[in-house]
Structure 1
Amino acid sequence: MRELVPDTPYCGAPPLPGGAAWNLDPWLMAALAVALLVAWGPAGRGGDRRWLLAGWAALAAALLSPLCNLSVALFSARVAQHLVLLVVAAPLLALGLRLPRRAASPGSLALAAGGFALALWAWHLPGPYGATFRSDAVYWLMQLSLLGSATWLWHGLLIGAAARPEAALLAGLATAAQSGALGAVLTFAPRPLFAEHAATTLAWGFLPLEDQQLGGLLMWVPGGIAFAAVALLALGPALAPRAGRP
């Protein structure tokens, strides 16, 4: 069990430059091992184990690497951690796990896009964001809800790009737009929004507002591009039936 002083966030105390530590929480490492064994065993038969292992590795890197500890000091590092979870681990897991194909139906895809948008915006409001620093349970609720909703969405997008290209196109563009809008709000906010980083960014050479702007740009550009790209991949199948028409 982790030995932390009261009110220390899950990922530890804010590190100074050169002092970001790996997260060696034995409970987390055991949970990751069990999750891999379950997904790799008979319960996960029918999926693609190559994608599954790649997604698991990205998930473990996001949660165990010094990025976890660094995210206590820098908002931009928290956004970077979420980018690894949401646009690297989640699509790989969606490709590797055996998920029901009905998740790619237009109705399910719309629900997935809405659920992901709700989770993304909710956890970047100052109140819920701050709660993740004060409660391990809230921290894991954030991580699991973001990863789960993103995996559900990516499954629908990747399967739907072939089966229901129009729905995948709309859902991908809508997700790119809403995540980009959140990034723009964070980038152009006139003041820092997250009190948890008010005294932790200067050691890393950032004012709190500059750190927030960097995090907003990361969410806006790489995050938006990832969802826009899969939407554009669906554009080809969507237009294909019209190609032979006069």
Structure 2
Amino acid sequence: MALRKPMVAGNWKMNGSLELVSELAAAIANIDTSDVDILVFPPFPLIKSALDAGMKAGAQTVSENNAGAFTGEVDAKLVHALGANYTLVGHSERRAIFGESNETVAAKFAKAQENKLTPILCVGESEQEREQELTEQVVWQQIDAIIGKLGVDALANSVIAYEPVWAIGTGKTASPEQAQAVHKFIRSKLTELNSELAAKIQLLYGGSVNENNSEQLFAQPDIDGGLIGGASLKAESFAAICNSAKGNG
């Protein structure tokens, strides 16, 4: 039995519809989920519909605050009450557009776990940072913010998704070798702190993953699946990506 089960998670961002929920549920209904974890992250109003359609679903973000006077925010407790078990934290769009710092992301990570949600921590460097050879430094600072606040053991109940910012929604994709290098770096750094955790944690790649490149990416030894953007809005494409992850654990 594989040490790590592959995972494919679809991040719909501010897209989707009730029709897409039905189409995607039908497309993945016959995939054996004993071989691959399949999740979707639709907009908040569609989470319950996705769950009712038989899919695993989570939130794209949660507030770092408890219930209170925070208009427009969503409490992690309510997300869990819907029946969801996951949330994204720290997606690059949340960091760049909404100004979420590493400290804010760490607070959201903690709040998710307090409310029985498994956080998928998104990390990644910009194109400028890659050109300046800062990839490892930036990625590790993003992970270390969690370790500094909660300790390394908190990562045992989480997933890490490496998404180079320059490859998200651009059509550019890190080569399998480039992606593997960063995943290997993450796992090696975690091994220094907790080898058992490092061996078990699922590391996903995200950044213009599609049905044409997913198999090569998922075949890399430290890549355990993908966080899928645009291709998760197309039922056939998403199902093909899910199938390509099977057997690569």
Same fold (TM over 0.5): no
More strand by share: 2
**Superposition TM-score, scaled by structure 1 size:** 0.28
**Superposition TM-score, scaled by structure 2 size:** 0.28
More helix by share: 1
